[in-house]
Amino acid sequence: MLEVKDLTVQYGAVRAIGGVDLSVDEGSLTAVLGANGAGKTTLLRAVSGLLRPKAGRVELDGADITRLPVEDIVRRGVAHVPQSGGVITELTVEDNLRLGGLWRVSGRRDRAALARRVAEMYELFPPLAERRAKTAATLSGGERQMLALARALTGAPRLLLVDEPSLGLAPRVVAQLMAVLRRLCDEDGRTVLLVEQNARSALSVADRAVVLDLGAVVASEAAATIAADDRLRHAYLGF
């Protein structure tokens, strides 16, 4: 579904990633792992069109999307959940959710579909249902990450790009989030590209994993193969 070919992204003279290849199958969960500064966030931002690569291609369903405007990439079904979640803290949980899908609405039928998707999010994330009328500022870190994911999902994306959802969360909450990401693939047929520094958690739910170091791919294997590779784990994954 997603093919990244020989991708190079620079910030001015600084090369953040160089010659990165990545292939993601529809309905799968792929983890992008590696230490701080390895280039994970840069890769994700280049896929969603937020950064313009210096060289290489990004293809979605065989079409070149490398230089499309962000809104066109979103329309093709790509949603990006940034590292801090990006929820609007002044708005209620409900309004954040509606906002995530509002761009799809142009008529009454669309509005009904959006209401249905919001209701589905409350089923998927019951704590959000209890807090639907509260502002997002009142949520815990884990609830905010749930809201960030749910908000992206109300836009009914096919490919979900998630940047370090586990940051700052308790292990139990991380496990819940990882389980939700897995279910999105297994039950809804969505495709997930998950950037994580918490390699152990990500590998526990991923089908495949890519390990980045200094902006280059050092391994691209089945998640179980990477989890079983002591050398890779010690050198790049910190467990």
To the nearest 10 degrees (0 to 180), the angle between helices 141-153 and 93-102 is: 30
Binding mask 155-194 toward ligand ATP (x if CB under 6 A, else -) reads ----------------------------------------
Binding mask 32-61 toward ligand ATP (x if CB under 6 A, else -) reads --x-xxxxxxx-------------------
Nearer to ligand ATP, 176 or 197 (CB): 197
238 is an interface residue for ligand ATP by CB under 6 A: no
Nearer to ligand ATP, 197 or 204 (CB): 197
For the bound state, the minimum distance from the C-beta of residue 165 to ligand ATP, rounded and expressed in Å, comes to 13
197 is an interface residue for ligand ATP by CB under 6 A: yes
For the bound state, the minimum distance from the C-beta of residue 15 to ligand ATP, rounded and expressed in Å, comes to 8
For the bound state, the minimum distance from the C-beta of residue 143 to ligand ATP, rounded and expressed in Å, comes to 22
Nearer to ligand ATP, 113 or 214 (CB): 214
**How far, in Å, CA of 155 to CA of 31, rounded?**
22
Amino acid identity, position 148:
A
For the bound state, the minimum distance from the C-beta of residue 193 to ligand ATP, rounded and expressed in Å, comes to 13
Nearer to ligand ATP, 34 or 53 (CB): 34
| From 2, 4, 16, 147, residue interacting with ligand ATP (rule: CB under 6 A) | 16
Give residues with Cβ within 8 angstroms of 215, minimum separation 6.
15, 16, 17, 18, 20, 38, 39, 42
Residue ranges that bind ligand ATP, judged by CB under 6 A: 11, 14, 16, 34, 36-42, 197
